[in-house]
Amino acid sequence: MDRTAQLIARPAEYAVAYDPAAPPGPLHLRAVDVLESNWTGTSTVPSRHLYPHQWSWDSAFIAIGLRHVSPRRAQTELETLLAAQWDDGRIPHIVFNPSVPLDAYFPSPDFWRSSTAGRAAGAPRTVQTSGIVQPPVHALAAWLVHRADPGLSRARGFLSRVYPRLAAWHRYLLHRRDLGGGGLVSIVHPWEQGMDNAPSWDAPLARVTPAPARSFRRADLDHGAAEDRPTDLDYGRYVRLATDYRESGYTREAGEFAVEDPSFNALLIASEHALACIAHELGAAGTARHARAERLTAALVERLWDPAEGLFFCRDVRGGDLIRERGVSGLVPLLLPGLPREVTAALVRTLRGPHFGVGDRTRLVPSYDLLGEAFDPHRYWRGPAWFNTSWLLERGLRLHGERARADALREAVLDIADTSDFAEYVDPYTGEACGATGFSWTAALTLDLLHSDTDTGSTSTAPDISTSSSSSSSSSSSSSSSSSTAIAALKGGDRG
């Protein structure tokens, strides 16, 4: 009997987590409604109007939330994304929906030309994608999705099908993107890191000649206020970098922009730990992946940690120096289990200190230094607070024993998601909604925090190999009939 057959034949020895212990409340139901309205049939768009396609790290966060109400749909979310993977292992940052008009979003499929320009790198022929990547949250998401309903996962062979693709994704990053030679992954475009216009990119972007304004049209300004979005100058540089990368056939990573980012690498490390858990579930030891995660953690501390500032900084690979802009990216490594104790203590102090002010001047984590010259409370990643980074830091605080602070951040995420109508991002001082509302990862991570066990941290981002054969929690089936009706469409017969 092969390994997949053995897994399918394994008896059910677990509890299944679908709904919270108490009947779903209004916030839970509204979050479910957001995900239902943004569902396309095979994946979830971040926002129907502003982002009408599938985004890579969005789908990972969305799956983490979806697993609580529809493990089957959470699996499908990740499977749809992975079906667009390139032969070289990269997972593209956008998978385009062919039914969406080309002028609905820029850069559109006819800009990226993935099936032709990306042919040498193994871009799929039948699906149009972008040619760059986003942070590797996917293995972590896959592991958490599996744990939500191990029986369904095993019956469908979910982990055995996604594991080779996730392993190839990590190989691509580790082998093709170590541009600094120190073991860490480099991004080659600001969009790859996910925090598109963060001040950390200003210095390396200054080397890039912007594309002429007449050569592109920004569809984002049709749906978002210009004062909340990246400037035209920044956008011109993004377009230039993407154009040059496309013209190289998406194979020349050594361009003008190359940056080692602490958040991107921390999420890779967390996903390496998750891949070790997946390997263990599938019958392998997983020890080599845990060891790789530990080596990457050591490299992260060696190359990007500044003990005097109590923060991780980006490194400009071309110039060789740290980029001393205090951004939320420098706090995200708090989610890692292998950090030295003095590093985690310093990160907590920095999170609470004057530059981020969490628990004092702000409730959610601002994306940039409150005291920085470039701080703007409304302009995208130059100050506003985002729900995914606060979710990551809530998990990090809980992992390292900061329960009271984790509880406070959890409460803030839930409160502000509610009052902002699941905003894309918010003013860090007032909680005022910015960008799109009804944003999918905000709704999904709200669901995850509503379901999380704050006593045990059962949804921790630090996978424990000892829990690889058990579900995250048991649950009550005491939902009211009205609540059951509201979520029936989303659950979609998962138990069958």
Which residues are marked as active site?
196, 424
- Cα torsion 80, 83, 86, 89: sign: positive
| 221 touches 89 (CB < 8 A) | no
Amino acid letter at 219? A
Beta strands 94-95 and 54-55, pairing class: antiparallel
Nearest CA to 429 out of 385, 371, 387, 394 is that of 385
Amino acid letter at 53? H
Residue length, the chain?
Answer: 496
Nearest CA to 475 out of 13, 27, 16, 108 is that of 16
How far apart, in whole angstroms, are the C-alpha atoms of residue 491 and residue 18?
Answer: 9
Residue 267 main-chain phi, psi, to 5 deg? -70, -35
How far apart, in whole angstroms, are the C-alpha atoms of residue 174 and residue 172?
Answer: 6
Is the peptide bond preceding residue 107 cis, with omega within 30 degrees of 0? yes
- Burial category of 60 from C-beta neighbours within 10 Å (exposed 0-12, middle 13-18, buried 19 and up): buried
Task: Encode burial over 100-127: b for 16+ CB neighbours within 10 A, e otherwise.
Answer: eeeebbbbbbebbbbeebbeebebbeeb
Task: Encode burial over 298-322: b for 16+ CB neighbours within 10 A, e otherwise.
Answer: ebbbebbbeeeebbbbbbbbbeeeb
The secondary structure of 33-54 as a DSSP string is HHHHHTB-SSSB-SBTTTB-SE
The residue behind tokens 């030295």 is 340
Provide the token pair at 162.
């996604």
Q: What is the DSSP letter of 311?
A: E
| 146 touches 138 (CB < 8 A) | no
Q: Which residues contact 470 (CB under 8 A, 6 or more apart)?
A: 13, 14, 147, 150
| 240 touches 211 (CB < 8 A) | yes
How far apart, in whole angstroms, are the C-alpha atoms of residue 133 and residue 93?
Answer: 4
| 163 touches 278 (CB < 8 A) | yes
How far apart, in whole angstroms, are the C-alpha atoms of residue 275 and residue 141?
Answer: 10
Provide the token pair at 274.
């998750």
| Sheet of strand 433-434, all strands in order from the earlier edge strand to the far edge | 385-386, 425-426, 433-434
